[in-house]
A and B are shown apart, each in its own frame.
Chain A
Amino acid sequence: MRYLPLTPADRAEMLATIGVGTIDDLFSDVPEAARRRDLFDLPLHAGELEVERELAGLAAMNRPAGAGPFFCGAGAYRHHVPATVDHIIQRSEFLTSYTPYQPEIAQGTLQVLFEFQTQVAALTGLDVANASMYDGSTACAEAVMMSKRVTRRNKAVLSGGLHPQYAATTQTIAHAEGMDIVRQPAAIDAEAAVLDAIDAETACVVVQTPNVFGVVTDVTKIAEAAHAAGALLIVVTTEAVSYGLLKSPGEMGADIAVAEGQSIGNGLNFGGPYVGLFACREKLVRQMPGRLCGETVDAEGRRGFVLTLSTREQHIRREKATSNICTNSGLCALAFTIHLSLLGERGLRELAALNHSKARELRDALAAVPGVEILTPRFFNEFAIRLKGDAVAVVEALLADGVVAGVPFSRLNPHAGMDDVLLVSATETTTSEHIQAFASALAGRTA
C-alpha cells in the first residue's frame, strides 16, 4: 500500500520492541464481541490509475458550469480564479499544516490570517473580522446567536429576502440554542417589511443585500430603526464581489456583516468547501465566534502573530464558550486573500463593475424576450425573472438547448407560491454569445 511506509520486517521488529507477539495483542482492550476478524465487504486497495479511472468516470457524468452557457447563482457564483491562487494553496506548508497553535512555526498561516482579517474588515466597512467561518450560512447563524449574547434578548427577525437555506440553517442552529426566529415571507423587495417586526424583544434584524432575488438595498434606515430599539443589524451578503461596487454594510450602519466568500478565490465545488466572512464593530469583539489572529511581539521584540482572545473558545471555556467551533476554513480563507491581494482595490472595483455590466447585458437581452418579466428593480450581478409557467420545467427544457438557465426559486423555497420565478446571474465569465444563446433558447421555448 503506497501510503504506508512500514514493511513486514519493520512491524515484526517493532512488535518485539513493544514486547508483544502479534498486532492483535495491541487491540486486546476491544471487547471480544466487537472484534472483526474478516475484511469488510468493500473493494480491496487500488492503484492510482484505477482510482483515477473511477473518479474520472463519475466526474464525466456531470456537466461542469464551464461547459457552456450557465446562469446559476443563488449563493454560489462562477468566477475566474487566477492560476496563482491554486498554485499557492497547494504548497505543502499551507496545505498540510494544522491550526497555528504553535505560533513560532506557523507565522506563515498567522500572517495570512491577519491580512485576511484586515481585508474582510475593509470590505465590510467594519472594525474587526475573524479568521473565517465554515460558510456564509453558518456565519449568519453565528451572528444571530452573537446578537443574543450582546443584547441579552431572544428574538431574531429574518428578512424575506434572506436566502431560504440561510434562513433554514439559522432557524435550525439558533433555535436549537433557544432563540425565537421570526422568518418573514419571501418577497422580491422584502427589506422594508422588517421595520414593522422590530420591537423591544428583538436581538437582531437580518437583512441580505443583494438579497436572494438580487435586489440591492440601502439598509441605513433599517439600521437606524434597529438601533433605536436596541437591536443589532446583521447584513448578509452571498456575493462578496459586490463589495467592490456597492456601499459597505458598515457604511450603512450594520453592527455585524457576514458573507459567503466563495466568489473570491474559491471554485464552485458543488457547494463546499467555502469560506464564511464575519466582521463586526470593535466593541462587540469579545462576543465574536471563531478564531481571531492578533499582532504581538516575540522575545526579541520582533513583530509576530498569534491566535488570541481564545478565552472565548471551546477548548478553554468548554460549556461556557461563545461557540462550539474548532475547525474553520483556513485554506479557503487563504485562497480568498491571495485572490484579493492580486485584485487589489483597482482590480476588485473593475471586477465588480464588469459583473454588473454583464448582468445589465443579460437583463436587456432577457427583457426583450416575450413573456419574460424582470422582477428585480436594482441589482448587482443577479436578478429574478418571472416566466410563463413553471421555472423548473423551463430550466429542464433549456438544458436540451445546452443552456443552464438559472435556479428556480421553488428549489430554495417550494412554499412561496413563486414557481414561475427564476434566479439568473452573470459574472465576468459570461460571454455575449452565452447571453444570446440563453435569450434565443428562451424565446424559442416560451414562444
Chain B
Amino acid sequence: MTMQNVGRPTRPQAATQSGHTSLTGARGLLQDEALIFELGGWDKTGVDLAPADHDASDLGDLVRAAPIGLPGLSEPEAVRHYVRLSQKNHAIDLALYPLGSCTMKHNPRLNEKMARLAGFADLHPLAPQSTVQGALALMDRLAHWLKTLTGMPAVALSPKAGAHGELCGLLAIRAAHEANGQGHRRTVLVPTSAHGTNPATAAFVGYSVVEIAQTDDGRVDIADLAAKLSPDVAAIMVTNPNTCGLFERDVIEIGRLTHEAGAYFYCDGANFNAIVGRVRPGDLGVDAMHINLHKTFSTPHGGGGPGAGPVVLSAALAPFAPAPWVVAGEGGFKLVEETIEEAAQGFGRMSVFHGQMGMFVRAYAYMLSHGSDGLRQVAEDAVLNANYIKAKLSPAMTPAFPDGPCMHEALFDDTWLEGTDITTLDFAKAMIDEGFHPMTMYFPLVVHGAMLIEPTETESKLELDRFCDALIALAQAAKGGDVERFKGAPYLAPLRRLDETQAARKPRLTWRPDDKGVSPAPLAAE
C-alpha cells in the first residue's frame, strides 16, 4: 500500500539548526556518504575476471565506441558505501513499522536461507522440465495451500505484485464476460475507500469506474451498490477487510447482489492477513482475489519489491486463467506454458516465465512453519494487536469508527488535532524523532487526515506499549501547544524534511557529470 501525501508535498520553511553540528556533515555513526559517481572510481573495478581468449572483431561497428560513464569501486569501498547508506533506512528489524494496509511483519530468516538453496536459486526457468520437478512440486503445493486457505478452486501464480494480480483478475473477468456474450459490460464499481490501484487497474483494462458510496460506519452502502448494479456492470472491486480496517458485514449480500446482476466479485486481498485461517473468501462469494505474498506471507518488502500477487479464482473464472500453470500427471509435474495447448480460453500471459519463484519458496516456508494452527493465530494476534492499539490510543486521539471492533488495523482521523495548527503530516514526522516509522496517512481518502495503523501479529505487547506511550506523549505535546516539535520535525533523522515541491518542479533524476565538477574520464589505455 502506498503512503498518501495527496496535495501535501512537503515544502519546508528554512529551519533553524538543531543543536550541535559536526564539521564534516557526519552525525556520529551516520556518515555523510557521497554518490558512487563522486568517489573517484572511473578506472576501478571490484571484480577480477579471467582474460578473454577471443576479441570482438567479428562484430565490427556494432561494438560500442563511446565510454558508458560507469564508476567502479573496489570491494572494501563498495561494502562501506552500501553499509553507510543502509544506516539511513528505517526497517521492520529495527522497530515497529505501522504502515496500514502494508502488513509490515517480521521476515523470517529461514525463508531467506531456503530461497538460496541452489536447487531453487540456481534454477533456469527454461531448463528441461524433467530437471525441475522439485520446483514444480513446490508451486503445486503452494497452490494447494492458497486454494485451501481461500476456499477457491484455482489459482494463477504468475502475477508479480498486487496490482499485477488485480490486472490478472480483471482480465479473467473480461474474458469470461466475452465468452458468455456479455462483452458489452463496461463498468466496474469501486468503493470510495479503495486502494488507488483498483480504479487504476479497472481504467487500464478499459472499464469506466463508478464509485460506490460508504455508510457512516465505514462499510459499502448496500443500497447505493444495488442501485448502481446495472446490466452494464462487469465487476465490483471490494477490499475485505476494507481499507478502514473493518470487515464488510454485508459481504455475502454484496456477493449475492453482484452475481444476481451478472457481474463478478473481485476482492482486493491486501488485507487477507486479518482473516487467514478463520475466514475463506470463497465462502463470501468472491470470484477473484489477489494475495500479496509480501504482506500476508511475509516475503520481505525489500525497499519496494519484489512482491508476488497470485490470484485465486472461482470455478466460473478458472478456465480463463493465464499461462503458465502446473499440472500433475503420471510422469510427474508438467508446466503448461501455452494456453492453446490444454485450455483454449486462457486470456494470455502476465509476464515472461512462471512468476516470482523466489517469493514462492519463502511463502511456502512461512506456511509450513505456521501450519493451519499458526496461520489462524496470525489472524487472531494481528486483530488483537490492532484493537489493543485502538483501545489504548482512543482516549488521546479520535478513532474514525469508534463503535465495534476493528480488524488488523486501527484508523484514526484528525479531529483531535483541531485547533492545534498541527496536521497529520506534522504528527507523522514527529513520530520519526521518537524512533517509529509513521503510520499510513491521508488514506483511506474517506477519512479526514486519516492515520491508519497496522501493527501486525509479530509485535510483542512490550513494543506495542512503547509505541502507544510514545504516541500518547506526542498527542499530549500537540494539545499542549508544543507546535515547533511537530512543524519542524523530524529533527533527529538523517535528514530534515525534504523539499518535494522543488523535486517535482525541476526533476533531477540522474547524476550529471557537472554536478560536482567531476567528469568520467575515458579508461586509461590498456
Closest chain A residue to B17 by CB distance?
A300
Asked whether A65 lies within 8 Å of B494 as measured between CB atoms, the reply is no
On whether the beta carbons of B47 and A75 are closer than 8 Å, the reply is: no
Flag the segment in A153-161, A184-192, A328-336 that touches B: A328-336
Interface string of A124-140 (1 = CB under 8 A from B): 00011101101111100
Write out, one digit per residue, whether chain A residues 30-54 have a CB within 8 A of any chain B CB (1) or not (0).
Answer: 1101111001111111101011101
Contact, CB under 8 Å: B70 / A74? no
Q: Does A378 contact B (CB under 8 A)?
A: yes
Instruction: Say yes or no for A348: interface residue by CB 8 A criterion.
Output: yes
- Inter-chain CA distance A323–B164, complex, in Å, is 11
Quote the shortest CB–CB distance from A18 to chain B (angstroms). Answer: 5
Q: Hey, which chain B residues are within 8 Å of A292, CB to CB?
A: 507, 509
| Residues of chain B from 345 to 370 with CB closer than 8 A to chain A in the complex | 347-359, 361, 364-365, 367-370
B497 touches A299 (CB 8 A): yes
A14-B384, A319-B199, A407-B126 known; A354-B352 Cβ under 8 A: no
Chain B residues within an 8 Å CB radius of A414: 338
Closest Cβ–Cβ distance, residue A55 to chain B (whole Å): 5
Q: In whole angstroms, what is the CA distance A121 to B1 when docked?
A: 28
Sample (19) of A-B pairs whose CB atoms are under 8 Å apart: A5-B461, A36-B280, A36-B283, A42-B367, A65-B127, A78-B122, A92-B91, A96-B91, A114-B510, A247-B64, A270-B357, A292-B507, A299-B15, A314-B163, A318-B199, A326-B196, A343-B47, A347-B46, A350-B45
Cβ-defined contact, A55 with B117, below 8 A: yes
Task: Pick the residue among A41, A46, A340, A357 that contacts B52 (CB under 8 A).
Answer: A357
Q: What are the 10 closest A-B residue pairs judged by CB atoms, nearest first?
A: A344-B72, A59-B119, A331-B302, A61-B134, A271-B353, A271-B125, A172-B348, A101-B3, A273-B306, A92-B93
B461 x A399 contact (CB < 8 A): no
> Among the listed A27, A169, A345, A404, which residue makes an inter-chain contact with B278, where contact means beta carbons less than 8 Å apart?
A27
Q: Which of chain B's residues 253-278 have a Cβ closer than 8 Å to chain A?
A: 275, 277-278
The verdict on A70 contacting B302 (CB below 8 Å), with A31-B252, A341-B71, A342-B73 known, is no
Look across to chain B and name the residue whose beta carbon is closest to the beta carbon of A13. B461
Whether, in the assembled complex, A221 has its beta carbon less than 8 Å from a beta carbon of chain B, the answer is: no
The contact of B114 among A52, A107, A166, A354, by CB within 8 Å, is: A52
- The complex places the Cα of A14 from the Cα of B405 at a distance, in Å, of 13
The reply to whether the CB of A197 lies closer than 8 angstroms to some CB of chain B is: no
A218 within 8 A of partner (CB): yes
Q: Are B246 and A29 in contact (CB under 8 A)?
A: yes
Q: Which residues of B contact A243 (CB under 8 A)?
A: 64, 68
Q: Which residues of B contact A56 (CB under 8 A)?
A: 114, 117, 119
Determine the distance from Cα of A28 to Cα of B387 in the docked complex, in whole angstroms: 13
User: Smallest CB–CB gap between B129 and chain A, Å?
Assistant: 9
Q: B438 touching A102 by the CB < 8 A rule?
A: yes
Residue of A nearest to B338 (CB): A414
Q: Which of B36-44, B411-419, B475-483 contacts A (4 or more CB under 8 A)?
A: B36-44
Knowing A52-B110, A399-B128, say if A293 contacts B509 (CB, 8 Å). yes
Instruction: Please give, as numbers and ranges, the residues of chain B lying within 8 Å of A326 by CB-CB distance.
Output: 1-2, 161-163, 196-197
Contact A60 B458 (CB under 8 A): no
B306 touches A327 (CB 8 A): yes
Is B44 in contact with A325, judged by CB distance below 8 angstroms? no
Residue-by-residue, is A161-184 near B (CB-CB < 8 Å gives 1, otherwise 0)?
Answer: 001011011011101111000000
> What is the CA–CA distance of A87 and B114 in the complex, to the nearest angstrom?
15
| Contact across chains for B131 and A62 when beta carbons are under 8 A apart | yes
Partner of A272, one of B209, B275, B353: B353
Q: Is the CB of A55 within 8 A of B429?
A: no
Q: Does B284 contact A (CB under 8 A)?
A: yes
Is the CB of B50 closer than 8 A to any CB of chain A? yes
A49-86 vs B, Cβ < 8 Å mask (1 yes, 0 no): 01110111111111111100010101110100010101
Q: Smallest CB–CB gap between A232 and chain B, Å? A: 19
